[in-house]
Structure 1
Amino acid sequence: MKKFQAQPGFVVQAFRFALDPNAAQEQALRSHCGAARAAYNWAVGWVEASWWQRRAEESYGVPEDRLTQWRPWSLPALRKAFNEGKHTCPRFATWWEENSKEAYSTGLANAAAAFDNYAKSKQGKRKGRAVGMPRFKSKRKARLSCRFTTGTIRVDADGRHVTLPRLGRIRTHEPTVKLLDRVRAGTARILSATVRHERGRWFVSFQTEVKRDLVRVTRPDVAVGIDLGVKTLAVMADSTGEIRTVANPGHYDAARKRLRRASRAVSRRQGPDRGTGQQPSKRWEKANAARNKVHHRVANLREDALHKLTTAVAAEYGTVVVEDLNVAGMLRNRRLARRIADAGFGEIRRQLDYKSRQRHATRLMVADRWYPSSKTCSGCGVVKAKLPLYVRTYECDICHLVTDRDDNAALNLAALAAAAVAGTGVAGDQDTAPVVSKPRGADRKTRATRPRRKAEAGRAGGATLPHQRRKETRDRPQAEPLTLW
């Protein structure tokens, strides 16, 4: 599906509201989300069937011009094939009319996007980690979600109900006036709606085109450098020399005692067992719901704290400088992974990105990943060769500056943007290219990892390892006829 492009002066914004559906409406919601999952699995199986059939035919020496044709995975092609066979397919024939067509379109669109990502990753056109072949979604683990793009999608005039195709009128847990007022004034237009089951309840998110005027920041001439950490969530040093420290709330650490108690209660109940088919007891379901409630509360508190922090920063400073942190690599540290995940470094960067562009036109600069912000002296600019993580106080050997490690890093980030700051704070600054600094003394070396001795011995002796034998068995082609369903 093509990404929607907003008109000049308009931005695409989502308004999310919690729902309070009754029993029949919740069953219909689950049915629509299950239909989206079933359509996704059908699309994956339909496309990959031609892949495996071609591999089997090649193993039997079938010429190239007589091989089975590749099946396309574009959204129009998937919709056409699905509509042609849904009346006779045993999987859909008896119940596909119970749900809106948008539910099946959601699954097909997700499958088309998954195949596109896989193809671009194989061709080297997609950044990030390599993407594998799309896999089937499990009924037990798949996240319940469904998107509506056509039909009756509106916020009702009473401000406490929403109307969705085939689902009808559903009451919201909170007032919808913040979107209703914009729709009535003509400054917002609803494009689509997505229902989702998250954190123990149902939500509806309206994607809207909203007319938004950029608000001038409070201090447009000031640049701030933000150094994220575990001990303190953020240390902010601006170009005037003022330093602010934001304490790490530690919501997960504060709730660990309650989580331990709730987890013990769950472990003492009769839970589900897929091996024997044992069903969970009512007491287990009640205890598991209590444990999930603690997790949901932690997630909500973290989300609220991060939104308040990023909103305040984007509304005050004309230029914000952050670091390009390797959060995925930092999470591999088993001693700090829990605290890094609880802090939400990646979420802070994401929120600052869209809030600086769409609300205040704040200039967001990203320092190079190898910029030695902690090793550089904020007083004289000398760079230390090494600075271990356990050293929390920076001591300069040249100018004898003694300061906190995080304060020193934040001051260096603020100074990095001092030369590039124009001091306007207007909309023209939002497209400024990110700062890419030269590494001064940063260690770019990657530690080499030796393979395991057992694997080395297996390769040296020409033996086949167990995981290699399993892969060969799984990839062995099977000559079976290609069917549509």
Structure 2
Amino acid sequence: MQKGIKFRIYPNKGQKAFIHQTLGCCRFIYNRGLAMCKEGYEKGEKIGYGQTSAMLTELKKQEEFAFLKEVDSIALQQSLRDLDRGFVNFFQKRASHPTFKSKHNHFQSYRTVNQKDNIRIVGRYIKLPKLGYVKVRQSMEVGNIHHVTIEHTPSGKYFAVLNVESEPEPRPNQGGTIGIDVGIKTFYSDSNGNTVANPKYLERSMRKLVREQRRLSRREKGSHNRDKQRIRVAKVHEKVTNQRNDFLQKQSTMLVCENQTICIEDLHVKGMIRNHKLAKSIASVSWAKFFEMLEYKAVWYGNEIRKVPTMYPSSQTCSSCGYRNPLVKNLRIRIWECPGCHAVHDRDTNAGINILKKGLQLQSA
């Protein structure tokens, strides 16, 4: 299988200039191809990768576009392939219609393919097409590299995302089964009665973020000081993202290492975020990313992920006798007594037990 590995790179001044030149050329070709597709649609013609690729070849022959020959040709072709993939996803209703790229977007990237071993790691450097040897901070060993994506982030940092071959071996685990009920106050409660607190990284950084945002709003638009302040704001957001990702990685790895079967809720997070009162808290806790990590790590290491239907009343059902108490639908009720068997339940732990039971029923069905 293939997976992505992200390393930070440290290009010199000349390499930075070339990276931005390549980003600009890729953006220009992408927008040119998108305009060509729109014109063809208005005329009733279907424009695909073949036509846009031929357009790129013709542009390179013209003297006014000679700058396109200076950058990596594969990166330009890949930008057109991205455009073609964007239209495929749009027509298959997996994504919105492709839009024009802007140079004012502070996150930019381009992708190039490894051909004849022109992308490889040599010591403390990574060799990239046209760029040569760039200093890299390598944190793990890599296998055969298929392609690499060069990213420039809003905080001004540069990264290389390597797509490499990987053969993960199933890890021995304790063979347990567990049900997970995610929440906002507590990140999750499991069927064993354990709870993991929500670290609330965004909320804890909110005071600093508000201060930096206020300073940014006072800077004159287009000034150098405003750009420096924008980077300070981006660094606050980046730190929150890194803290959250580190937390999610550790929690998902721990669950996969300790359990063979993990039962979770099939939540429609995108729909839940439409609740304007809870949207910020739901986005901050990042359930969708947590579930995604559990799923791909389960594939890597031979675990099972069982999804319980969205509308299953896990919090309202008594885990002892099965009685359904509709009053528990109120989120303010955290501890309740079952009218049927008089068992006292913690709302989240009871939900975790019910999710586990339902998941195992789905497994045996």
TM-score w.r.t. length of structure 1: 0.71
Q: 1:365 aligns to what?
A: 306
- Selected match of 2:341 from 399, 411, 421: 399
Answer whether contact 1:189 1:208 (CA < 8 A) is retained: yes
Alignment of 1:170 with 2:134, yes or no, is yes
Q: 1:88 aligns to what?
A: 62
Tell me by how many angstroms 1:244 deviates.
1.1
Change (3 A) 1:165 1:215: same
- Selected match of 2:46 from 71, 75, 88: 71
Q: How does 1:375-454 map to 2 (within 5 A)?
A: 375-386=316-327, 387-419=329-361
Alignment of 1:311 with 2:253, yes or no, is yes
Q: How far, CA to CA, are the matches of 2:212 and 2:132 in structure 1?
A: 38
Q: How does 1:261-300 map to 2 (within 5 A)?
A: 261-270=211-220, 272=221, 279-280=222-223, 282-300=224-242
Tell me by how many angstroms 1:346 deviates.
0.5
Q: Percent identity?
A: 28
Q: 2:270 aligns to what?
A: 328
Amino acid at match of 2:40: S
Task: Give CA deviations for 1:19-49 in whole Å, capped at 9, x if unaligned.
Answer: 1111111111111122221111111111111
Amino acid at match of 2:212: A
Q: 2:199 aligns to what?
A: 249
Change (3 A) 1:199 1:409: farther
Amino acid at match of 1:205: V
Change (3 A) 1:72 1:285: closer
Q: 2:3 aligns to what?
A: 13
Q: How far, CA to CA, are the matches of 1:299 and 1:316 in structure 2?
A: 26
Q: 1:105 aligns to what?
A: 77
Answer whether contact 2:308 2:359 (CA < 8 A) is retained: no
- Selected match of 1:229 from 170, 183, 193: 183
More helix by share: 2
Answer whether contact 1:35 1:103 (CA < 8 A) is retained: no
Task: Give CA deviations for 1:47-99 in whole Å, capped at 9, x if unaligned.
Answer: 11122234xxxxxxxxxxxxxxx1331x3342233213432385xx2310110
Tell me by how many angstroms 1:211 deviates.
2.5
- Selected match of 2:39 from 49, 66, 69: 49
Q: How far, CA to CA, are the matches of 1:30 and 1:265 in structure 2?
A: 28
Q: 1:154 aligns to what?
A: 119
Answer whether contact 2:60 2:66 (CA < 8 A) is retained: no
TM-score w.r.t. length of structure 2: 0.93
SS of the residue aligned with 1:71? coil
Tell me by how many angstroms 1:355 deviates.
0.3
Change (3 A) 1:177 1:397: closer
Alignment of 1:204 with 2:168, yes or no, is no
Q: 1:438 aligns to what?
A: none
Task: Give CA deviations for 1:196-230 in whole Å, capped at 9, x if unaligned.
Answer: 1235211101111123221121x21x210111100
Q: How far, CA to CA, are the matches of 1:256 and 1:264 in structure 2?
A: 12
Answer whether contact 1:153 1:192 (CA < 8 A) is retained: no
Q: How far, CA to CA, are the matches of 1:53 and 1:414 in structure 2?
A: 56
Tell me by how many angstroms 1:142 deviates.
6.7
Q: 1:260 aligns to what?
A: 210
Q: How far, CA to CA, are the matches of 1:175 and 1:253 in structure 2?
A: 32
Change (3 A) 1:291 1:72: closer
Structure 1's unaligned 5+ residue stretches are 1-10, 55-69, 180-187, 273-278, 423-434, 436-485
Answer whether contact 1:251 1:298 (CA < 8 A) is retained: yes
Answer whether contact 1:232 1:248 (CA < 8 A) is retained: yes
Q: How far, CA to CA, are the matches of 1:253 and 1:52 in structure 2?
A: 48
Tell me by how many angstroms 1:288 deviates.
2.5
Tell me by how many angstroms 1:317 deviates.
0.2
Q: 1:355 aligns to what?
A: 297
SS of the residue aligned with 1:171? strand
Task: Give CA deviations for 1:367-406 in whole Å, capped at 9, x if unaligned.
Answer: 1111111111111111223411222223311111222111
Q: How far, CA to CA, are the matches of 2:139 and 2:260 in structure 1?
A: 32
SS of the residue aligned with 1:13? strand
Matched positions, count: 362
Larger Rg: 1
Tell me by how many angstroms 1:407 deviates.
0.8
Change (3 A) 1:154 1:288: same
Alignment of 1:343 with 2:285, yes or no, is yes
Amino acid at match of 1:175: Q
Task: Give CA deviations for 1:273-319 in whole Å, capped at 9, x if unaligned.
Answer: xxxxxx21x33333332222211111110110000000111111010
Tell me by how many angstroms 1:132 deviates.
4.4
Q: 1:476 aligns to what?
A: none
Change (3 A) 1:199 1:405: farther
Amino acid at match of 1:255: S
Q: How far, CA to CA, are the matches of 1:199 and 1:135 in structure 2?
A: 20
Amino acid at match of 1:346: A
Answer whether contact 2:2 2:166 (CA < 8 A) is retained: yes
Answer whether contact 2:31 2:101 (CA < 8 A) is retained: yes
Structure 2's unaligned 5+ residue stretches are none
Amino acid at match of 1:139: K
Change (3 A) 1:89 1:114: farther
SS of the residue aligned with 1:341? helix
Q: How does 1:131-142 map to 2 (within 5 A)?
A: 131-141=95-105
- When structure 1 is superposed on structure 2, of 188-197 and 340-349 the one drifting more is 188-197
- Selected match of 2:23 from 16, 22, 33: 33
Change (3 A) 1:76 1:248: same
Q: 1:449 aligns to what?
A: none
